[in-house]
Structures are given as structure tokens and as C-alpha cells.
Amino acid sequence: MADQKDKGRGVLDQSLPFERRLIELESHLERAASDQERQEIEGELEREREAVFANLSPWQRVQLARHAMRPRMLDYTARVFDDFIELHGDRLAMDDPAMVGGIARFQGETVMVVGQQKGVTTEDKVQRNFGMAHPEGYRKALRLFRLAERWGLPVITFVDTPAAHPGIEAEAHGQGPAIATNLLEMLKLRTPIFSVILGEGGSGGALGVAVGDWVAMFEHAIYVICPPERCAEILWRDVEKKEMAASALRVTAEELKELGTIDKVLAEPAAGAHRDPEAAAQTLAEEIEFFLEECKRERWTPSQRQAKFQNMGIYQETAG
Amino acid sequence: MPEGVWVKCPGCAQAVYRNEVDENQQVCPNCGHHYRINARKRIEYTLDPGSFEETHAAVETVDPLEFTVGGVTYEQKVAKAKATHGLKEALVTGFGAVEETRAAFGFMDPYFMGGSMGSALGEKFCRLAQDAIRERLPLVVFAASGGARMQEGILSLMQMAKTADAVRQLNEAGSPYISVLTDPTTGGVYASFASLGDVVLAEPKALIGFAGPRLIEGALKVKLPEGFQTAEYQASHGFVDRIVARSEMRETLGKFLRYLSRS
């Protein structure tokens, strides 16, 4: 809800090493004494942004995707929608705070909104389990997908999770089957689904709410089969090879688009969504508007969604 | 299983005569421990002799991300797995019969790249499901997998949705799908087609779960409870219909296939 927006964020202490110079320059700019000085600093800012952001390494992109100040689901819902009424509970066991959902108003239309909220303050992060949902979270999402189908509402999902929660209770309650069921049910759903990868799209935990007719992804988000650190442990037996893993896994939005996994890369404001959440929200709002327009043209059908996912993958067929 | 006349059973830690294990379908004659087995042995123990006709063997893995670890390309790693295991992928598909009832079958091999799922495997699963639908046969798939195949990155993740869609097709066609979870069934395979069976069977003590036990232990810094993520644990939580010993698998499958066949 709106009161969640941007709460509890300091600036410098949460910045990444490659952002420090930018932040310094910005504070110089605020204190600039003359127009001439201002122009000089602006010029330097532009060059610095260009130098850093035109050549981000895959690992720097992972860091940006996980940036402490990166806007979260509720930062977007507060800006993109005119109203959002949160609905709670999976009707089986509990309400998972890592998975948020409810009905929202967008330009006079009602939509169903579902997604992961990572949390902003320390307390909030812990309460939301860093956006790592339990099986109950996936079942709550499924409950809301079905409601949307019954009510004829388009579904908008927000993806931002390191992973589905790995834990004893999560296993006892069927984390694997819960995700598998969502995949199957999302493929069948008789209402259109728009998904956006906000920050981290972590593995099956992300896909469990990302089987969309139209999957958009922010420029500096990542979408991975497993976190680069874990990939490094598995393949190189060395977590310090995470930078190599990030590069080998092809985690960036551009690369994923080339592989046919996502449909659209959403450009971020200069130096990242966290530097201008309003602008990032505006970009997302335009994409949702496009999606809803296409809904009216009946562009999205379950059979096309199914065909899209059936066609994913690259293999060869040898003779004989 | 290691070479030698005697082997130490991982189940009971007793020295058992290797031939006895071999003659007992790779099950310890002393404690009933089910050894992890490859696809070839699984086919031999499960199907009527000579009934298996392999399909879709020509669907093979490529290296879409040009993935290299320590100077070894993914292509080279797959080539080595092919040579070592005499298979082309970690899933062997085809038609066969159990107690003279015909069905479509998939057998995963936990040794071929850890039984991991990449694009070729996902495609084979989908074609297998479509064969079952077309021939109006039940489908039986023996899962054995460490999860998604890292070397194909996001494309492996997408196979979870792709194979789930194959199950959707089976469901809509009314084709019975029996998923048999064997040691190990974890990660992306468990969180997709393996747990979506109409009927889910499991071999005794098989490791079954989403997140691997070491990952959970590392993340939570706790000791895992005894028997965590075994077939029995999953059955007691309602995720497995029946635990079926290897010696009884044919009889059990034979009944399901006879009772559920539509032709």
C-alpha cells in the first residue's frame, strides 16, 4: 500500500561501489555556486553515467538487480495503480507476506495483481522473508489467479524474489508441487496474464508466478536458473567464481530477450530504476496500458500462451 | 556400484555379496536399500523383456549459451556423458509393456549429467506426452534428477513450464499419467512434471524435494530431521500416493495400466 512507498531508505550507505562517484557528483551539483559550475558538473555526471552504465559487467547487473534501494512491488503498485485493495490468505493454512495480491484499479479498469514483495526496512524484510514465498504463497497466488478468471479480470504479476523459500516447513508443505501446480494452472488460465520481472527473477520461485502471455523485464533486472553464487558452488566448487557464473548464465534482460524467454525489455531511467522510481513506474504503466489495450483486441489467448512456452528451448534433431 | 565381490551397503553398512545385489534388482538383500540405478537397468527391471521401442532418440542437446567450465565446453561434457553412459540424454522415451499392457514410458538416468533437465530433455518429455495422447495410452515416467541443467541457464528453467504444459495436454485428453519418483527427484524436475502425476508413486527412501538438503542446511544452519525429504516423508505429508518397492513395481504398474487403459 501507499504507506510502504520508499520507506526507510538512506542513500549513500546503500549505494554500490560503482555508483559512489555519481552520488558524489550529484551532491556537488546541489551545492554548485554558479551556472557555469553546474554545467561542468552536469557534463561530468553524464560522462560518468555513460562510462559506468554503458559497460556494466554481468556481476554489476546482479548487484543492481538486488540493489537495496531498488523499487519493490509495492513501490510500483502505489504509483501505477489508482487503488489497490490487498487480499490475504491461501484459504488452506496461512497468509504468506512474501506473496502479495489483490485487486487494483488501472485507468478505470479493475485488474488482479499478484507478486513478491522483498521488503524495504530490516524488520519488513524479515517479516516478508526477503520475498521468498512458502508453498502457501504460491497457493495464495493461485487462489487469486482463479478469482481473476472467474471475474474476468486480467492478471498482472510482479516478480522479485531470490528464490522460493528453501526450508523444512516449505518442503513439508510441498514447495515443489505448489510451484508445479501454478505452472500448469497459469498455462490453463482463461484470462490474460502480464508479468514483469522487477529485480531478481530467481528460478522456479520466480517462474511460479511468471507464466505470462506477455513477460516484460526491467533493463537491470536478472532472471536466472539459480543464483550465480550457487551456480559457482555447483560448477566451480567455489562461491568466489560468482562473477564468472553470472557472465556464463546469461542473466541480463537483453540476452533473455534474444533467447526468447521474455517478450520486452523495459528501459530504466539513467543509472537505474532506484535513481528515479517515478520514471520507472511510468515506463511500467505504459507497458501495462499496452497490455490492456491488446487484451481488448483479444490478442492473448490460452492457446497462444501455451504455444509460447511449448516453443521454449534450443535443441537439435540429428538424422538417423 | 564399486567393483569387487563384496560391497558395503550404504543402507545397513554391512558387507553384501555383489552378485546378490545384482540378482536382486540392485536392492540390498540384507536391509532392502534401493541402489540408485541407471535408465538401462530401470528398463530391464520394469518392462516386459523385448517390449521397449525407443522414440525421439534423435532429439539432442546443443550448447546455446556456449557454456564453458574450466576449459571444458558444455558440448564436450555432454559428449563425454554420452560415451560414458551409452545414452543421448538423461531421459529415454518410448513405448513398452508391463505384464502385457502397453503404455508410453519415460526413464530418467540420474547419472547422465546428474539427470538434469535442459532443452532436449524438455522437448523429449513433451513429445512423449503427445505420443501417449495420440495412441490413447497411459504415460509412466520414472523421474531421477538433480534438477535443472545449469549449462543451459534460463532455457532450462523454461522447460519447467514447457513440461507442465505437456501434463496439461495429458490432463485435457484424459490420458492417465503415472509419475514414479526415484532417487533422487529434486529441484526443477520435482517442481514441474514429476510432481504433476495423476498418480505419484515413489521408491522406498528415495530423496524427493525441491531444495536440496545441503542447501537447506546451509541456509538455515540447522540439522535436518531424521528421514527428511525421503519418499516416506513425502508420503506422510500427502505428496505421494504409494511407496512401491522395486520388486513390486511391475505388479503395481501392471494393475494401474490394466485398470486405466482405454483401448
Q: Which of residues 64-103 of B touch A (CB under 8 A)?
A: 64-65, 67-70
C-alpha atoms less than 13 angstroms from C-alpha of A161 in its C-beta half-sphere? 33
Residue B178's DSSP bridge partners are B140, B199
Q: And the C-alpha cell for B177?
A: 499419467
Mean pLDDT of chain B: 95
| Residue A316 is assigned to a structural domain of this protein | no
**Smallest Cα–Cα separation from B152: which of B218, B224, B77?**
B77
- For residue A186, the domain's CATH number is 3.90.226.10
Chain A residues in contact with B67 by the CB 8 A cut-off are: 248
Percent of chain A with pLDDT over 70: 96
End-to-end alpha carbon distance in chain A: 59
Partner A contacted by B21 (CB < 8 A): no
Average pLDDT over residues B82-95: 97
Q: Is residue A142 domain-shared with residue A243, that is, in the same domain?
A: yes
Residue A313: which of B122, B164, B167 has the nearest Cβ?
B122
H or E stretch covering B16: strand B15-17
Predicted pLDDT of residue B263: 64
Q: Is residue A7 domain-shared with residue A89, that is, in the same domain?
A: no
pLDDT exceeds cutoff 80 at A320: no
Look up the pTM and report it: 0.95
Q: Give one word for A143, left, alpha or beta, with left for phi > 0 and alpha for psi -120 to 50.
A: alpha
Three-state DSSP state, A85: strand
Q: How far are the Cα atoms of A36, A52, A229, A293 from residue A39, in angstroms, in the given order?
A: 5, 20, 42, 42
Domain that holds residue A6: 2-55
Read off the pLDDT band of A1 (50, 70, 90). very low
| Residue A11 is assigned to a structural domain of this protein | yes
Residues B97 and B99: their CA atoms lie apart, in Å, by 6
Q: Phi and psi for B258 in degrees, rounded to 5?
A: -65, -45
Residues A274 and B176: their CA atoms lie apart, in Å, by 50
Helical residues (DSSP H) of B135-238, grouped into ranges: 153-173, 187-190, 213-220, 231-236
pLDDT exceeds cutoff 80 at A8: no
Residue ranges covered by each domain of chain B: 1-35, 36-260
Residues A312 and A247: their CA atoms lie apart, in Å, by 21
Residue B195: which of A176, A236, A316 has the nearest Cβ?
A176
Is this complex's ipTM strictly greater than 0.85?
A: yes
Q: Give one word for B114, left, alpha or beta, with left for phi > 0 and alpha for psi -120 to 50.
A: left
Q: Is residue A35 domain-shared with residue A157, that is, in the same domain?
A: no
Q: Is residue A299 domain-shared with residue A210, that is, in the same domain?
A: yes
| Residue A231 is assigned to a structural domain of this protein | yes
Of 3.90.226.10, 3.40.50.1220, 3.20.20.150, 2.60.40.1180, the CATH number of B36-260 is 3.90.226.10
- Which of A12-16, A120-124, A238-242, B163-167 has the largest mean confidence? B163-167
Q: Which residues contact A135 (CB under 8 A, 6 or more apart)?
A: A170, A173, A174, A175, A177, A178, A179
Q: Which of residues 210-249 of B touch A (CB under 8 A)?
A: 210-211, 215-216, 219-220, 222, 224-225, 228-229, 233, 237-239
For A201-221, how does the pLDDT look when each residue is reduced to its tens digit (9 = 90+)? 999 999 999 999 999 999 999
Q: Is residue A94 domain-shared with residue A132, that is, in the same domain?
A: yes
**B interface test, pick of A257, A315, A316 with most B CB neighbours within 10 Å:** A315
Contact: B65, A224; criterion CB under 8 Å: no
Q: Phi and psi for B242 in degrees, rounded to 5?
A: -150, 140
Q: Is residue A279 domain-shared with residue A299, that is, in the same domain?
A: yes
To 10 degrees, what angle do helices A242-249 and A58-65 make? 90
Q: Is residue A144 domain-shared with residue A285, that is, in the same domain?
A: yes
pLDDT exceeds cutoff 50 at A197: yes
> How many domains are contained in chain A?
2
| Residue A319 is assigned to a structural domain of this protein | no
Contact: B67, A314; criterion CB under 8 Å: no
Mean pLDDT of chain A: 93
Strands (E) in A126-225, as ranges, are: 155-161, 193-202, 214-218, 222-224
| Residue A186 is assigned to a structural domain of this protein | yes
Which residue type sits at A161?
Answer: T
Q: Is residue A79 domain-shared with residue A205, that is, in the same domain?
A: yes
Predicted pLDDT of residue A175: 98
Q: Is residue A189 domain-shared with residue A303, that is, in the same domain?
A: yes
Average pLDDT over residues A229-252: 90
pLDDT exceeds cutoff 60 at A150: yes
pLDDT exceeds cutoff 50 at A6: no
Residues A302 and B192: their CA atoms lie apart, in Å, by 19
Predicted pLDDT of residue A235: 87
For A13-57, how does the pLDDT look when each residue is reduced to its tens digit (9 = 90+)? 688 999 999 999 989 998 988 999 999 999 999 999 988 998 899
Burial B158-196 (b: 16+ CB within 10 A, else e): bbbbbbbbbbbbbeeeebbbbbbbbbbbbbbbbbbbbbb
For B203-229, how does the pLDDT look when each residue is reduced to its tens digit (9 = 90+)? 999 999 999 888 888 877 888 999 999
Q: Which residues contact A122 (CB under 8 A, 6 or more apart)?
A: none
Contact: B165, A172; criterion CB under 8 Å: no
Among A17, A33, A55, residue at a domain's last position = A55
Average pLDDT over residues B163-183: 98
Predicted pLDDT of residue A292: 98
3-state SS string for B188-218? HHHCCHHHHCCEEEECCCCEEECCCHHHHHH
Residue B29's DSSP bridge partners are none
| Residue A315 is assigned to a structural domain of this protein | no
**Smallest Cα–Cα separation from A215: which of B63, B232, B161, B262?**
B161
pLDDT exceeds cutoff 50 at A313: yes
Q: Is residue A85 domain-shared with residue A20, that is, in the same domain?
A: no
Contact: A225, B237; criterion CB under 8 Å: no
- Measured in angstroms, the CA of A46 and the nearest CA of chain B are apart by 33
pLDDT exceeds cutoff 80 at B167: yes
Q: Which residues contact B38 (CB under 8 A, 6 or more apart)?
A: B85, B109, B110, B111, B112
Predicted pLDDT of residue A100: 98
pLDDT exceeds cutoff 70 at A2: no
pLDDT exceeds cutoff 70 at A7: no
| Residue A134 is assigned to a structural domain of this protein | yes
Predicted pLDDT of residue A106: 98
Q: Is residue A77 domain-shared with residue A169, that is, in the same domain?
A: yes
Read off the pLDDT band of A9 (50, 70, 90). low
Average pLDDT over residues B40-63: 97
Predicted pLDDT of residue B221: 83
Residues A258 and A254: their CA atoms lie apart, in Å, by 6
- Measured in angstroms, the CA of A297 and the nearest CA of chain B are apart by 25
Q: Is residue A139 domain-shared with residue A49, that is, in the same domain?
A: no
Residue A110's DSSP bridge partners are A105
Average pLDDT over residues B79-94: 97
- Whether the CB-CB separation of A127 and A99 falls below 8 Å is answered with no
Partner A contacted by B187 (CB < 8 A): yes
Quick check: bond before B184 cis, omega within 30? yes
